[in-house]
Structure 1
Amino acid sequence: MTGHHFPHALEATRPAQVGLIVLQSDETIEPDLRRLLPPELELLVSRIPSGAEVTPATLAAMESEMTASAALFPAGAQLAVVGYGCTSGTAQIGAAEVAARIRAGVEVQHVTEPVTALIAACAELGLSRLALLSPYVAPVSERLRAVLAEAGIATPVFGSFLVEEEARVARISATSILAAGQQLVAASAEPVEALFLSCTNLRALPVIEPLEAATGLPVLASNTVLAWHMARLAGTRAQGPGRLLRGDGGAMRAAG
Structure 2
Amino acid sequence: MYRVGMIVPSSNTCLEPTTSRMLSEIDRVSVHFARVPVTRIGLDPAADRQFATEPMLAAARSLADAGVDIIAWNGTAGSWLGIDHDRALCATLAEATGIEVTTSTLALLEACRAYGVTRLGLVVPYTTEVTERIRAVYRDAGIDCVAQEHLGLTDNAAFAEVPEARVRRMVTAAGTGGAHAVAVVCTNVFGAAVAAGAEAELGIPVFDSVTATLWRTLRATGARVPGWGELLWAGNVRNEFQRTAEALLDATGADRTTLRIDLPELGLQVDLTAAEALRDGVRSIRRDASLDQRRLNTVEWLEEHRELLVQTNFRDDPLPPIALREVYGVRAQMLGPVVRGEAMAGWLSVHSLREREWGEADRKSLHVAVDAIAQILDDAEIATRSLHPVVAE
1:35 to 21, 24, 36: 21
Task: Give RMSD over aligned pairs.
Answer: 2.1
1:201-212 equivalences in 2 (<5 Å)? 201-212=188-199
Native 8 Å contact 2:78 2:86 kept in 1: no
Native 8 Å contact 1:53 1:164 kept in 2: yes
Q: State the alpha-carbon separation in 2 of the partners of residues 117 and 235 from structure 1.
A: 16
The residue type paired with residue 27 of structure 1 is T
Q: State the alpha-carbon separation in 2 of the partners of residues 61 and 104 from structure 1.
A: 21
1:37-186 equivalences in 2 (<5 Å)? 37=23, 38-50=26-38, 52-56=39-43, 57=45, 58-64=47-53, 65-73=55-63, 75=65, 77-89=66-78, 91-92=80-81, 94-103=85-94, 105-108=96-99, 110-186=100-176
Q: State the alpha-carbon separation in 1 of the partners of residues 3 and 215 from structure 2.
A: 15
SS in 2 for 1:72: helix
Aligned residue for 2:323? none
2:200 to 213, 217, 228: 213
User: Structure 1, residues 121-148: CA drift from partner, whole Å, max 9, x if none?
Assistant: 1122221111001100123223322222
SS in 2 for 1:163: coil
Change (3 A) 1:102 1:169: same
Q: State the alpha-carbon separation in 2 of the partners of residues 128 and 40 from structure 1.
A: 34
1:198 to 161, 181, 185: 185
Q: State the alpha-carbon separation in 2 of the partners of residues 90 and 217 from structure 1.
A: 22
Q: Between Structure 1 and Structure 2, whose CA radius of gyration is higher?
A: 2
**Deviation at residue 241 of structure 1 after TM alignment:** 1.3
1:241 to 190, 206, 228: 228
Q: State the alpha-carbon separation in 2 of the partners of residues 90 and 81 from structure 1.
A: 21
Indicate whether 1:225 and 2:212 are aligned. Answer: yes
Percentage of matched positions with identical amino acids = 26
Q: How many residues are paired up?
A: 235
Native 8 Å contact 1:18 1:82 kept in 2: yes
Q: State the alpha-carbon separation in 2 of the partners of residues 184 and 150 from structure 1.
A: 20
Segments of 5+ residues of structure 1 without an aligned counterpart are: 1-14
What's the TM-score once normalised by structure 1's chain length?
0.83
Q: State the alpha-carbon separation in 1 of the partners of residues 79 and 206 from structure 2.
A: 21
SS in 2 for 1:162: coil
**Deviation at residue 41 of structure 1 after TM alignment:** 1.7
SS in 1 for 2:12: coil
Native 8 Å contact 2:79 2:137 kept in 1: no
Q: State the alpha-carbon separation in 1 of the partners of residues 64 and 69 from structure 2.
A: 14
Instruction: Answer 1 or 2: higher relative contact order, Cα 8 Å, separation at least 6.
Output: 1
Native 8 Å contact 1:170 1:202 kept in 2: yes
Native 8 Å contact 1:63 1:98 kept in 2: no
The residue type paired with residue 45 of structure 1 is F
SS in 1 for 2:138: helix
What's the TM-score once normalised by structure 2's chain length?
0.56
Q: State the alpha-carbon separation in 1 of the partners of residues 117 and 189 from structure 2.
A: 22
**Deviation at residue 104 of structure 1 after TM alignment:** 5.2
Q: State the alpha-carbon separation in 2 of the partners of residues 244 and 112 from structure 1.
A: 17
Segments of 5+ residues of structure 2 without an aligned counterpart are: 242-267, 275-285, 288-393
